[in-house]
Each structure stands twice: as structure tokens, then as C-alpha cells.
Amino acid sequence: MSNNYPQPLSGMVVPRFGEVATFMRLPIERDPARLDIALVGVPWDGGTTFRPGARHGPREMRNMSTLMRRVHHASLVSPYELCRVGDHGDTPVNPIDLHDSLKRIEGFFARLHQAGAAPLSAGGDHLVTLPILRAIARERPVGVIHFDAHSDTSDAYFDGQKYTHGTPFRRAIEEGLIEPRRMIQIGVRGSIYERGEKDWANSVGIRIVHIEEYFRRGAEAVIAEAREIVGGGPTYVSFDVDGLDPVYAPGTGTPEIGGFSTAEAQRMIRLLDGLDLVGGDVVEVAPPFDPSGNTALVGATLMFEILCVLAPAVARRKNLS
């Protein structure tokens, strides 16, 4: 190794079923100043409206991430050669207080952001993306590439509740954290409460690619458009695992049939290489609904895929070599 960046524990030295499970078998590093990319768990699902369980996502994704090896087999990128990546632990949460949780989560990511580390997080339900963006996008709004079966731009749920995993992107846009004209949602589908449900999203300029359009045009064309939409500006990647067909990811709170496959998700993420990515998350992995562990494996693998396009972006921005 030409640098002394943190490296994953090798399965050639300690078998991959051994030792304490951390994200990608990286060392735990609690000091954000020592990281360029922080892998973070957000064990919280207090914004869930249907079946909870995503609070258990980070631990199971850590476990399954021990299957990730150092080098991406297609791009041959090893993120750990490009920058300092470590397991930064879990954010504090309050399992019985939504607003206190949002504050705690934001504080954790704000500390990271001030230290200059980019976050790649494991949820948690999708509301966790809001405090992450509050921490990293206050001074400069981001573009967003959002994979999901749902638009998550509802105004309120159940008697006027403004903060649920169905509302994070509406709140983030209202708070000026996202440039809506630099946002694209891919994979949206499923029955809706009313015909005009996407009117607000459309009116602020979010590009919604419903799953029917995705299958008609294919990954290459859709991601080519996504790249045009986000352009050269800072861009965040948010991957709700329910964007996948539940055949591939049954362990999630709000499954919708008819989604894209894991192979298609991998192809789309790889095509994000070269964008100015500033962070990402994989959310809504709810292990209790998938005792096989496959959804956690899917989540961990998607984190690795995102890491392999995020690390080159971080290295470019920081002029690391």
C-alpha cells in the first residue's frame, strides 16, 4: 500500500465470518477529522408509516458488508486506496421521540461535515435523509439522485404530521437544502392516495421517472438524463431499497412489486461515476421481514457500489492521489 489509509481487514488474514462486524471490515474511527468518507449507521425508524424494522438495518448491513472485498470487480476501483474511509459508528437516536432524534442525527452529521468528511449512511427509514441534508446542504443546496418506489414528497400524513418517511424531500426542498430542478427520482410506482399526489413534486421541477418509463428506456438512457439534470454541481445519492423489486429486497417496510433488479441498480450506480458526489445513503432495509439476510446483503452491496463512485469524487475534490 502506497499510503497509510485505513484498510479493510483481509479475509486472507482473519476469515470473513470472524472478528467484530464493521462496515466493509474497516476500522472504527470516531474522529471525523481522520476520515474523508465516514460510513455511518442511523438505527432509527420513527418516521415509518407502515411496518417498522429499519432501525435494525445498520447492524445487519454491517454484518453482511463483511462479504465485500477491497476492489470493485468491474471498475477495479478500491475506495480505500483513494481516500480515508472508516466505520464512524452509529448516530445517537431517541427511539421514542421523533424530533429529538432528528436533532441528534443532524448534530452527528454536522460534526462530520465540519470536519470535512463525506457521509455514506445505512438507514434507518427514509426520514433520516432530512437531518443528513440539514447537516451537509445548509450552505449550498445539493442535487439529488433518488432511487425509490415512492416520491417521498407528501406534505403530511395522518392528521397533519409533517415529518414521516413519506415527506423528507418535500421538507428538504422547503428548507432550501435541495435544488428541485437538480433532482431526479427513479423507479416510482405503486398505488397512490389521490390522482394529484405528484402535483407538488412536478410543480417544483423534480423529474420523476416512473418504473414504466424506466423499463421502456433502460438504465443507460435514464442515467444519461440524470447526469444532465444534476450537472457538475454537488450531488447526493439516496437509495431506498424498496426501489428494487421485493423479489430482490423483501426486507423493507413499504414493498411495491414491479421494481428494477439488483443488477440494474448496480448498473445505474456505476454509471454515476464522474459526478461531483458529496454523500449518499441506503435506507429502508428492515431485516425482521427478511430472515434470510438477503436484503441486508443487498443494502451492504449497494453501499459498496456507491462508495466506489463516491470515493473517486471525494479524492478529486480534495486533490488526493
What does the binding site for Mn ion look like in residue numbers (CB under 5 A)?
A: 126, 148-150, 152, 240, 242
Which CB, 77 or 122, lies closer to Mn ion?
122
Could you tell me the smallest distance in angstroms from the CB atom of residue 168 to Mn ion? 8
How far apart are alpha carbons 249 and 243 in whole angstroms? Answer: 9
Could you tell me the smallest distance in angstroms from the CB atom of residue 257 to Mn ion? 13
The x, y and z cell numbers of residue 220, run together, are 443507460
Could you tell me the smallest distance in angstroms from the CB atom of residue 57 to Mn ion? 13
How far apart are alpha carbons 311 and 118 in whole angstroms? Answer: 9
Could you tell me the smallest distance in angstroms from the CB atom of residue 159 to Mn ion? 21
Could you tell me the smallest distance in angstroms from the CB atom of residue 188 to Mn ion? 9
Which CB, 87 or 242, lies closer to Mn ion?
242
How far apart are alpha carbons 71 and 32 in whole angstroms? Answer: 24
**What is the torsional sign of CA 119, 120, 124, 127?**
positive
Which CB, 112 or 149, lies closer to Mn ion?
149
Which CB, 126 or 270, lies closer to Mn ion?
126
Which CB, 25 or 170, lies closer to Mn ion?
170
Q: Is 76 exposed, middle or buried (0-12, 13-18, 19+ CB in 10 A)?
A: exposed
Q: Is 92 exposed, middle or buried (0-12, 13-18, 19+ CB in 10 A)?
A: middle
How far apart are alpha carbons 97 and 203 in whole angstroms? Answer: 33
